[in-house]
Homo-oligomer: A and B are copies of this chain.
Amino acid sequence: MSTAVIGLGLIGGSLLRALAAAGHDVVGYDADPATREAARAAGFRVAGTVPEAIRGTELTALAVPLTVLPEVIAEMKGHDGLVTDVTSVKGPVRDLMTGFRFVGGHPMAGKETSGFAASEAGLFAGCAWVLCLEPHGTDLADWLSLAGLFTSMGAQVVPVTATEHDTAVAQISHVPHLFAAVLAQQLLGNPLAGTLAAGSFRDGTRVAATRPELTAAMCGGNGSAVRRELHRLIGDLQRLEEHLAAGDPTSALVPYLSLASHARGAWPPAPGTPEKVPADVEALLELGRAGGWVTSVNDTELAGMRPETDLFLS
């Protein structure tokens, strides 16, 4: 599929490389001239503007930060090709993309390093790649062609709605970043805590060292889901606070901690057995809600997998 990749950082650069490695016709663009030069020097075709990059391509992949998306979209006015993106929040992007043939995506891939220099063709092998599917609003044929493209790179394509995605990433990534920040700032003016801190602190606060602007953009961009999930978890913490005020706090804490220990002990889940998946919106969404993913697409023959069942029953 001929593809334009807009934004050549870690994800966009890796996508450019992966598509080229798989024999696709690709062209890249980045707003930064030095990045364009680096991509050219690496042997890629690079356009000088967004309109030049996307002209005549079947697919445009937007790999720019959420805050930059509106500018790029403004340059795409009237474009009628298929468009996808890789940003970490899906509801707001879906709303921005009204009027385009759009299927939102989010590859759950990352590294400690960023930028085109860190990009690699193999980045997506084995990674979960959310591909949004709305019961009303996504063209199934478009969705299937993207699912085929990304599974061919080794990604595990997870079919969910934008709303389901945004809730899940608030739960497993955005709120954990806020928890880490709250634990880490305890060190301020408190050197004794820094001296006594060990393994549980080290791991529980690791992501607090992330650049604050990045964490803020990620959480702020998914603001309403993060706020709702944070509020829910504050409620859980308040229940633990009540347990600590009980006559026998140790016994009062055990039931909740047992559920949590069970859940964490069962994660990551073992994959189950391969299965055939109907090329049907509801069947695909059911697969995604069950934690499953599409492993391959041949025409309309889909194969999938889901985690072993009953590990996460509440």
A residues neighboring B (CB under 8 Å): 108, 110, 128, 130, 158, 160, 164-165, 168-169, 171-173, 175-201, 203-213, 215-217, 219-221, 223-224, 226-227, 230-231, 233-234, 236-238, 240-241, 244-245, 248-254, 256-261, 263-269, 288-293, 306-307, 311-314
Contacts and interface: CB of A to CB of B under 8 A. Distances in A.
A174 to B, nearest CB: 9
Given A237-B178, A241-B234, A269-B191, A186 B204 contact: no
A25 B193 CA distance: 35
A244 B264 contact: no
Contact of A203 (B195, B207, B313): B207
A189 B313 contact: yes
Given A215-B253, A219-B244, A185 B290 contact: no
A313 B110 CA distance: 32
Number of copies: 2
Contact of A185 (B164, B189, B245, B259): B259
Contact of A312 (B160, B190, B260, B311): B190
B249 A220 contact: yes
A258 B253 CA distance: 33
Contacts of A190: 168, 171, 312
Contact of A313 (B172, B188, B208, B265): B188
Contacts of A187: 263-264, 266-267, 312
Nearest to A261: B212
Contacts of A306: 191
B201 A263 contact: no
A257 B201 CA distance: 17
A244 B218 CA distance: 11
Given A183-B233, A215-B253, A240 B178 contact: yes
Contacts of A291: 191-195
Contacts of A177: 200
From A160, A178, A264, A292, name the one whose CB has the most chain B CB atoms within 10 angstroms. A264
A249 to B, nearest CB: 4
B173 A201 contact: yes
Given A257-B181, A266-B187, A176 B195 contact: no
Nearest to A266: B187
Contacts of A265: 209
